[in-house]
Amino acid sequence: MFTLKSTRRRAAGVVAVAVAGAACATLLTSGSAEAIVRGKDSTQHYSFMASIPETVNGTGQHGVCGASLIDPQWVVTAGHCVDPRLVTPDGTVRIGSEFRSSGGTVRHIAKTVTNPGYLLTDEKPYNQNDIALIKLDRPVAERPVRMARPGVPGTPTRLLGFGTVLDTNDTSKAVFAERLQELDTRRGADAECAPGYASRSRLCTVSPKPDAMACIGDSGGPQIRRGFDGRWELIGTTSGPGSSRPTCAGGPGLYSNVSAFSGWIRRTIHANR
């Protein structure tokens, strides 16, 4: 779910940004059309990329959220992607596929754990501690991604997701990508997002490409950067827009900083082995 101003309306969009989230009145697909918005078809295999099909509560609309495999039996996503006030996951997670509805490995959800500080709000600083973990019913063979610090502002990053190919916050108009999309971005300074949005635990993300950013259906999905050894590392999970605006693109994005929650993540996994 991509976080929007009206808590429930925007949250529904968030889920789709994944959702970020999840929501779409009619579940549409697009083969190689641009998505994320104005991203491009994935250029390589991302074994850690995961997708979570969902239904938006009270609407019957189908959506999707993104997630990242960080352990053979655990994925990390956005808190609003598993918020029972907003959405109902269909009970499965697809891992390691370039396609939203086929390929990879499918596992059932055994347990969800939302960060205890998660707060869904339409007041500054908006959604707080927007991060959650999902335990799979069985381990998978796909290679997990390492968690890492985000680097200094200006650090090159990449976004991944199956979100809408159209720049809209109207979930009934969302058109989800069937093929995984990617967008090269950079970590922005806190001041590049609107005041009160970015913080130590929430990363401001900027796209060098005009009118391009994560959107409905990308929520919970990964923001990654290259490590010193050239491998991709996870620095953030899609949370919502980095400013108040009528659509997703045309402004910065906001990502939960996974390194800020690394202690909680490790403790949670260890306690639920």
CATH number of the domain encompassing residue 271: 2.40.10.10
14-31 in b/e form (b: 16+ CB < 10 A) is: bbbbbbbbbbbbebbebe
Ranges under pLDDT 70 in the chain: 1-35, 123-126, 168-172
Domain span at residue 270 reads 1-273
Whole-angstrom Cα distance, residue 3 to residue 60?
Answer: 19
Q: Give the alpha-carbon dihedral of 28, 31, 32, 38, to 10 degrees.
A: 10
The total number of residues shown for the chain amounts to 273
* Cis check: omega of the bond before 37, within 30 degrees of 0: yes
- What tens digit of pLDDT does each residue of 12-57 get? 344 333 333 333 322 222 222 234 777 788 899 999 999 999 988 8
In three-state secondary structure terms, 173 is helix
Query: What is the reported pLDDT for 123?
Result: 67
| Residue 156, token pair as written in the block | 């090159």
Whole-angstrom Cα distance, residue 97 to residue 45?
Answer: 8
| Whether the Cβ atoms of residue 94 and residue 144 lie closer than 8 Å to each other | no
Could you identify the residue written with the tokens 């993540």? 265
Query: What is the reported pLDDT for 172?
Result: 67
Q: Domain count for the chain, please give it.
A: 1
Query: What is the reported pLDDT for 235?
Result: 98
Whole-angstrom Cα distance, residue 49 to residue 37?
Answer: 18
